[in-house]
Copies of this chain bind each other. A is one copy, B any other.
C-alpha cells in the first residue's frame, strides 16, 4: 500500500466502484444457474462484452468475509492487517464520533423466551420501534463509563462506552444461534484486568437492559458483538491523492467509507436515486463507491427469485452510470451470498472491469462461470484498487 502510494500521480480521471453486496451465488438445483446467471441483465452483459472480467477473493480462498473486511479489501487495504471491528462500523455508521479510547459494539434487539433466544433479530422490528427502545435504554447509567446506544435500521443498534482504560478484548454476548441463552461478556484471555473490568461494565449494562425491556415484545433483550476500538489506518484519499465519495444507503457501508477517508453523498433509498446522487456529485470527486445492499439481504433471506429481481433492478439503472463516461467502471460484489446458503460465503465474486485502457476478453455475459474464463482470472480483491488507479492513469512507472 505504501509502495503503491509512492507511485501516485495526478489525473482528472473518474473511477466508479459499483458493489452489489453479496452478488455471487450458487446454482439453483433446478436450473443449474446462479442468481446472476438467472437474472435478465442486458446492460451488464453488454458492459461485460466490452470489459475485462474475472473473479475476486475478498480475503482468500475458503474464507467467508464479513462486510467490513470485504470492503476494506476493495478499498485496497489488506483485510487481515487492517481489521475493523463490527462495533466501530456500527457506531460510525449511525454518525457517532469515536475517540481512540472509546469502545463500540454492534447491538441486535432479540426475542428471549424462557431464558433462551427464539429470534436473534426480534422479528426485524421497525426502525421507529428500535428508536423508541434505544430512548428507553438511554436511562441506564454506569459507574466508570459514559454509555450511549443509538438505533441503526430495523433490529440493529450501536453501543458506545466512553471511559478510561476500557478494553476491546471481549467476547460477544450474541451466541449466533437460537435455542440458547444470551452469553455473558467475558475477557478473551485470562488475567486481562482491563478486559475483566470492561466486561463487568458491559454485563452490568446488559442486566439493566434486560430489566427495562422485560415487558417489551418481541424485542425484550439485546445481544452485543464486535467490541472494538477505532483502528489507526492511513486514508486511501491521502495514500493515492484522490477525492473519494460513497453513495451508500446502509449505515455500515457509510461507516467503512468514512473510515478510509471518503465523504458521504446524500442519496434517496432506491438504486435509481443512488445513481442520480452519483451523477449530481460527478464533478466533485475522483473515485465513487456506490453500494447496493439488497442483493445481500435477499440472499440472506434465502429468496433466490428476489435476489434475481434485485440484480435486474441494478441492471436497469446501469446505462445512466455508463453515460457519465467514467474512465474506470468496476462492477462486482464484496463477497458472495448464495440464496441456497442464506449467508455470506467464501466463493469469489464476479467482476467486470470496464476501461478504455484495459484489455477486453471473450466473456459475453456477466456471471460467475463466464467471469472465471475472463482475462483477469481469479485474484485477491486487494489488488483491484491498484488496477483501477493504473487505468485511471494515476500511477507512475516504477523504476527505469
Contact = CB atoms under 8 A, between A and B. Distances in A.
B390 A64 contact: yes
A4 interface: yes
A85 interface: yes
Contact of A398 (B66, B347, B359): B66
Query: What is the count of identical protomers in the complex?
Result: 2
Contacts of A79: 398-399
Contacts of A386: 60-63
Contacts of A311: none
A395 B26 contact: no
Interface string A38-79: 000000000000000001000111111111111000000001
A346 B385 CA distance: 13
Interface residues of A, number: 65
A237 interface: no
A195 B63 CA distance: 44
A368 interface: yes
The secondary structure that dominates the A interface is: loop
B68 A399 contact: yes
A66 B397 contact: yes
A59 B379 contact: no
Contact of A399 (B34, B83, B343, B357): B83
A360 B340 CA distance: 14
Contacts of A385: 62
A32 B362 CA distance: 11
A155 to B, nearest CB: 15
A34 B390 CA distance: 19
Contact of A369 (B26, B86, B362): B362
Interface stretch (A125-133, A269-277, A315-323, A370-378): A370-378
A347 B359 contact: yes
Contacts of A397: 64-66, 343-344
Contacts of A341: 357
B62 A357 contact: no
A59 B399 CA distance: 10
A344, A373, A385: most-surrounded residue (chain B CB, <10 A): A373
A359 B395 contact: no
A335 to B, nearest CB: 9
Given A62-B389, A390-B63, A106 B400 contact: yes
Nearest to A84: B399
A225 interface: yes
B65 A4 contact: no
A361 B369 contact: yes
A359 B61 CA distance: 13
Closest 10 CB pairs of A and B: A86-B400, A62-B386, A66-B399, A62-B390, A69-B399, A61-B383, A372-B375, A346-B390, A66-B400, A62-B387
